[in-house]
Structure 1
Amino acid sequence: MIEFDRVGFRYHGAHEPVFADVTLSIGEGELVLLAGRTGAGKSTLLGAVNGLVPHFTGGHLDGTVTVAGVSTRDHPPREFAHLVGVVGQDPLAGFVTDTVEEELAYGMEQLGLAPQVMRRRVEEALDLLGIADLRRRALRTLSGGQQQRVAIGSVLTTHPSVLVLDEPTSALDPTAAEEVLATLARLVQDLGTTVVLAEHRMERVVPFADRMLYVLGDGSVVDGPPAEVLAGTAIAPPIVELGRLAGWSPLPLSVRDARRVAGPLRGRLPSAPRRPTPARTPLLTASGVVVRYGPVVAVRGVDLDLGPGVLALMGRNGSGKSSLLWALQGSGPRQGGTVRVGGADPKALSAKRARALVGLVPQSAGDLLYLDTVDAECAASDTESGAPVGRCRALLEGLAPDVPGDRHPRDLSEGQRLALVLAVQLTAAPGVVLLDEPTRGLDYLAKAALARMIASLTAQGRAVVVATHDVEFVATVADRVVVLAEGEIVSDGPTGEVLGSSPAFAPQVAKVLGDGWLTVADVAEALS
């Protein structure tokens, strides 16, 4: 179905190719996972499948890419619309209509399908992705996860032979991610659809994958069965890391496989460590916070105290996490309640003063970037924050090393762009830092670097709130977890208690070992 014949690609002005001499063949009805470090070239490789690379991006492409016998060299991307459906990293950037139902129908309209066929496929997509209640909602009023499901649905309605997805579950809660992946697996098995997806949260996708492509970042690509490829990769999901630690062979790729061989390991482990509860001297106090969007109540009278340490804010898509963060920071709507930071309400302060008290990195990190180069953004951040020259750049190097200073921020990968915005916000050294889906687009090593930076912030006595669906990251960094549902707090407690008792939010190590174990690092320390 997809053939790469000695394919190489280099962006204009770049000294090194993104990939070189890549030859591979992907057959009909395969689900292929594309993995690699942040910025290694995964999105570029995906873009080559339907000719967006190089017809849209520019650059020089060597070799030949064909889909169902049609060459991307000889045909523009629009002529692949009936063959290849593409879902990008930023769903909102790809929307062309105003409402969910219109977006689901748009692609079919361009292909000239009959109205009755369009209506039937729209209903099928709404049901498959669990978004029937959103059909008349404006796209810009949806949460990031809801937008992502709509983007996937808009591609599915055209019934392409090949689906190309760039981090399709990055903004979805665990349950929604499982539903989307199960839908993709059903398309592969029942309809013979070929699916190629790039995903940093490999623990979600590996059990479904037939093959794995690992982009090394030096121009080469490793191709093989997931267990074989993951045996030697620098990044791997927690369950594989646990298998490496325990010496299991073959490496397990699912919780079920790991549990079958975990008995001896459980017998060697003492009681799980208990994380100390941080001091609760409040740096931020919120009382009765209410956020409404017209008749929709997003946050219902939330009370929350933030002390030094890391609080993880979790909940299904649309539960009110982002709305609460914006209300706490002061830039977003707040129809009721009070917020106090250092005796002041951030909403009543100038943007500069509020930023020095509470820093916020939003889901769409690129919204905060407005200059032409990475170096210019860093320099402006240093100046606006009154920080020493070079502080922002040093923070960026700690999160995503070797980001070119002359690169336009819009040309960065999603992970690199998020790291830049985080560095910009941290330059002001606020006492309270709010992060909305900060691990989106970050690989495991980049997340480890982010965890170290968060630890350094809390060591300085700051409060950090991480709103995320990434349960593995929460297990690593959080002292406390708050779960929202329909704008209300339904659970608030230590990380081990909240995650360990939840079938939806439990990390992989907890599912395998139980008894309060959360991370591979905890297990390694106990064994040593």
Structure 2
Amino acid sequence: MIDFEAVSFHYPDAAAPALRDVELHLPEGELCLVAGRTGVGKSTLLGAVNGLVPRFTGGRLAGRVSVAGQSTADRPPQEFAALVGVVGQDPLAGFVTDTVEEELAYAMEQLAVPPEVMRKRVEETLDLLGIAELRHRALRTLSGGQQQRVAIGSVFTTLPQVLVLDEPTSALDPTAAEEVLAAVLRLVHDLGTTVLIAEHRMERVLQYADRLLYLPGDGTVREGPPQELLPEMEVAPPVVELGRVAGWHPLPLSVRDARRHAPTLRRRLAGQGPPAGPAQATPARPVALRAERVSVAYGRKVAVREVDLTLRAGEVTALMGRNGSGKSSLLWALQGSGPRRAGRVRVGEADPGALGPEEARRLVGLVPQNAADLLYLQTVAAECAQADAESAAEPGRCRGLLDRMAPGIPEAAHPRDLSEGQRLALVLAIQLTATPEVLLLDEPTRGLDYDAKRAFGALVRQLADDGGSVLVATHDVEFVASTADRVVVLADGDLVADGPTADVVCASPAFAPQVAKVLRPEPWLTVDQVRTALATREVAT
């Protein structure tokens, strides 16, 4: 179905090729997971499938890419629309209409699908993705996760032979991600659709993949069954890392696979428990931010309903909940820029909403979901220098933070030419340079690989250890398990849970990380906890 024959690709002025001598044959009806670190060329590989690379990116493509026998060099991308459906990393950038229902119908209109067929497919897609109640909503009023489901649905309706998805679950809560992947699998199994998914949250997709495409970072692409490639891969989900630590063979692909080995591992861990988190191991910290009866509404729609929340210095707090539960609205209300119908927010004696932008920024910093909106200069070096100057930081601080999360980004690169993960890392570095008393992060790990998330988690932890307070709105349960001291959960605008991370996530099948699911009922959260416990036991014996 998809063939790459001696394909190499150079971006303009790049020192090395993004793709080098790629040879692939992907048959019909397979789900292929594209894996690799941030910036290794996953999006480039996906873009080459329908000719977006190099037609819309520039650069030089050598070799031949063909889909169903049709070369991408012979036809423009728009003529591949009926054959290849593409969903990019930024859903909002791909929308062309105003409402959900119109967006679902748009691609079919361009392909002259009969009206009666269009109507039926729209209804089926609304039900398939669980977005029927959103049909008349304006696209810009949706949460990031809701926008992502609509973007995927707009491609589903055309029933393409090939479906290309770039980070399709990055903004989805765990339950919504499972629903979307179930719909994708239905296309693969029932309709024979060939699906390529680039996804950093491999724990969500790996168990369903028929084939793995691994980009090690030198421009090459290695392909094969997941079990064959996993031992040599530098990036792997927690359940695979747990298998490596415990010495399991073959390595597990899913929680179900790992639980077959769990009794033996539980016996090895008997008598030991996971260490207490930093906030649990220390006395109560001083209050950094206090919110009382905060409510947010958009017209008649109440997004946040009388929420009381206290953030303490030295704590990392995770804000979780399904898509559309009010997480982003609450963050903007706490920061002061968003609408607040009622309630009060205090950082010390000041209300951030009553201060000017520069003064408020020293109290509360916010990285929004569309983080790239904060980038406005022409080079990475200029963005970093500006961040150092505005924050009165020592020169090079911003660049140092960036290198810890996404090393190797050229200083002369334009921020808009970076991958989604690299742009996000740059914005995070800019915000962290200011070291505000309270830092609010909205889905900060989108587009980051496991190593980048680990480095970012260390930065967040360091910020808290230095006396700051961090509130992270996220669906990334693995990041929460490794970084957060405390979890609060929103549901339809109401605060429904608030407690230590282990207590909240282990009690929830949806929010539990992979290690917790494998070793249930013991409250282990991360591979690092298990690794440390096993090492301690070996030393003791």
Q: Which runs of 4+ in 1 moved over 4 A?
A: none
**Residues 304-342 of structure 1: CA deviation (Å, up to 9, x unaligned):** 110021000000000011111111111111111111112
* Structure 1 residues 97-176: aligned runs within 5 Å: 97-176=97-176
* Structure 1 residues 66-465: aligned runs within 5 Å: 66-269=66-269, 270-276=271-277, 277=280, 278=282, 279-307=284-312, 308-465=314-471
**Residues 167-226 of structure 1: CA deviation (Å, up to 9, x unaligned):** 000000000000101111111000000000100000000011000001111111111111
TM-superposed deviation, 1:154? 0.1
Work out whether residues 477 and 513 of structure 2, in 8 Å CA contact, stay in contact via their aligned partners in 1. yes
**Residues 457-503 of structure 1: CA deviation (Å, up to 9, x unaligned):** 01101101111000011000011000100111101000111011111
TM-superposed deviation, 1:246? 1.0
Q: Does 1:517 align with 2:518?
A: no
Separation in structure 2 between the aligned mates of residue 492 and residue 47 of structure 1, nearest angstrom: 42
Work out whether residues 457 and 483 of structure 2, in 8 Å CA contact, stay in contact via their aligned partners in 1. yes
Separation in structure 2 between the aligned mates of residue 171 and residue 133 of structure 1, nearest angstrom: 19
Q: What is the TM-score of this pair, normalised by structure 2?
A: 0.97
The answer for the alignment partner of 1:62 in structure 2 is 62
TM-superposed deviation, 1:274? 4.3
Separation in structure 1 between the aligned mates of residue 517 and residue 232 of structure 2, nearest angstrom: 24
Q: Percent identity?
A: 70
Work out whether residues 399 and 429 of structure 2, in 8 Å CA contact, stay in contact via their aligned partners in 1. yes
Work out whether residues 275 and 529 of structure 2, in 8 Å CA contact, stay in contact via their aligned partners in 1. no
Aligned partner of residue 283 in structure 1, secondary structure:
strand
Aligned-residue RMSD, C-alpha? 0.8
**Residues 382-434 of structure 1: CA deviation (Å, up to 9, x unaligned):** 22222222221111111111111111111111111111111111111101111
Work out whether residues 303 and 326 of structure 2, in 8 Å CA contact, stay in contact via their aligned partners in 1. yes
Work out whether residues 209 and 226 of structure 1, in 8 Å CA contact, stay in contact via their aligned partners in 2. yes
Work out whether residues 241 and 520 of structure 1, in 8 Å CA contact, stay in contact via their aligned partners in 2. yes
**Residues 226-273 of structure 1: CA deviation (Å, up to 9, x unaligned):** 122111111100000000111111111111111112211111103322
Work out whether residues 296 and 341 of structure 2, in 8 Å CA contact, stay in contact via their aligned partners in 1. yes
Aligned partner of residue 329 in structure 2, secondary structure:
helix
Gaps in structure 1 of 5+ consecutive residues: none
**Residues 95-121 of structure 1: CA deviation (Å, up to 9, x unaligned):** 000000000000000001111111000
Please say which of residues 219-228 and 138-147 is displaced more in the overlay. 219-228
TM-superposed deviation, 1:280? 3.5
Work out whether residues 280 and 306 of structure 1, in 8 Å CA contact, stay in contact via their aligned partners in 2. no
Gaps in structure 2 of 5+ consecutive residues: 536-541
Work out whether residues 145 and 171 of structure 2, in 8 Å CA contact, stay in contact via their aligned partners in 1. yes
Separation in structure 2 between the aligned mates of residue 309 and residue 229 of structure 1, nearest angstrom: 38
Please say which of residues 473-482 and 220-229 is displaced more in the overlay. 220-229
The answer for the alignment partner of 1:496 in structure 2 is 502
The answer for the alignment partner of 2:481 in structure 1 is 475
Letter in 1 for 2:140: R
Aligned partner of residue 260 in structure 2, secondary structure:
helix
